[in-house]
Amino acid sequence: MEIIETVGLTKNYRRFKKQAGIMGSLKGLIRREYEEKQAVSNLDLTIREGEFVGLIGPNGAGKTTLVKMLTGIIAPTCGTISVLGYYPNDLEHEFKQQYAVVMGQKSQLFFELTVEDTLRLFKEIYGLPEQEYQISKDYFVNLFQVQELMHVQVRTLSLGERMKMELIAALLHNPKIIFLDEPTIGLDAVASKQIRGFLAEINEKKGTTIVLTSHYMEDIKALCKRSIVINHGYKIYDGDTEKLFERFQKYKKITFIFHEPTLLPGLAFDARIMEQTPYKKVIVVPKENAAELLRALMSLLPIDITVEEEEIGTVVERIYQEGGKGFA
């Protein structure tokens, strides 16, 4: 069953342009100049119930604008849009009861209240019966293992703890769809991994449809079987996540740390040295040659090795440069 469908969805912004200085301000009072910016362009999209979809692209690509249109925060300029059978911008009460939004850079919590009181406030906002509220709260509190945090002020929580509470507050009313905009931004590796585990379980066990935007490669690759790539407002890829990265993620970045000053031998197979100090070497290598490079440098006895994938922005840029519009 398709629960999100858009056809020709477009959003244009009209922005005021002001010249610098006092004279520019005075001229702006008399005659204003504007420029048009197209944030989302003629986008066709369908998402089925229970899918976990990654929405990726560089900054300014139109991802957040799309999420805001799907949730009714802003209205499209043109095109058709249907979410759960509703036109989002009508903001019907029945529609708002069936979705949730979590933005990593914006909090919906009440910082002066305790976690328990904050969740109870959300219970009243959503009109949840007491028994349903208790069942839902207990499920998510146990899932996130945050029993000891229920009676502390939200303002005292760490970033990782606060993000868990953001998710609990969003999921408390068991929405059919949840939109996540950079939910792991600023989190350390352990907290990010925990959040990914929780989201995977919610999608699998509760069948919640999840749309995730993220710049972190691990979020997308670990959670989303399907990815939609947006660049300059256009959808340039919509399909299997693994195939996307197999084709366009061509390099790995490997960092070696040594306990004493170390010189590198000559490197073959198109390896590039990105950073080099006596104790640290950062090398970018084609992914098919990463294992060979590791074997070659293990004899130098590094004390620490880190292997990183290319960033999503780099992958998206490569898709776009290589004619990604043909995949849309």
- Whether 317 is in a domain gets the answer no
- Whether 323 is in a domain gets the answer no
- Whether 29 is in a domain gets the answer no
Contact, 99 vs 177, CB < 8 A? yes
Q: How far is CA 252 from CA 17, 86, 154, 323, in A?
A: 42, 44, 39, 22
Q: What is the dihedral of CA 98, 102, 106, 111, to 10 degrees?
A: 80
Whether 92 and 188 share a structural domain: yes
Whether 262 and 296 share a structural domain: yes
Whether 164 and 217 share a structural domain: yes
Query: What pLDDT is recorded for position 323?
Result: 53
Whether 47 and 137 share a structural domain: yes
Contact, 257 vs 303, CB < 8 A? yes
Among 15-19, 157-161, 232-236, 257-261, the minimum mean pLDDT is found in: 15-19
pLDDT per residue over 99-137, tens digit each?
999 887 778 888 889 999 999 999 998 899 999 999 999
* Mean pLDDT estimate for the chain: 86
Whether 189 and 267 share a structural domain: no
pLDDT at residue 155 tops 80 = yes
Whether 205 and 269 share a structural domain: no
Question: Mean pLDDT, to the nearest integer, of 244-265?
Answer: 87
Greatest mean pLDDT among 4-18, 27-41, 113-127: 113-127
Residue 121, domain CATH: 3.40.50.300
pLDDT at residue 287 tops 70 = yes
Listed residue (6, 91, 15) closest to 40, CA to CA? 6
- Whether 238 is in a domain gets the answer yes
Query: What pLDDT is recorded for position 212?
Result: 93
Q: How far is CA 208 from CA 35, 93, 96, 199, 260, in A?
A: 40, 20, 15, 9, 51
Whether 237 and 283 share a structural domain: no
pTM for this predicted structure: 0.78
Question: Mean pLDDT, to the nearest integer, of 222-245?
Answer: 89
pLDDT at residue 316 tops 90 = no
Whether 269 and 173 share a structural domain: no
Whether 74 and 180 share a structural domain: yes
Residue 274, domain CATH: 3.30.70
Q: How many domains does the chain have?
A: 2
Whether 177 and 297 share a structural domain: no
- Whether 167 is in a domain gets the answer yes
Q: For residue 294, what are the domain limits?
A: 251-309
Query: What pLDDT is recorded for position 328?
Result: 44
Contact, 272 vs 283, CB < 8 A? yes
- Whether 321 is in a domain gets the answer no
Residue that finishes a domain, picked among 247, 279, 296: 247
Question: Mean pLDDT, to the nearest integer, of 264-268?
Answer: 80
Whether 91 and 134 share a structural domain: yes
pLDDT at residue 92 tops 80 = yes
Whether 81 and 117 share a structural domain: yes
- Whether 324 is in a domain gets the answer no
pLDDT at residue 324 tops 70 = no
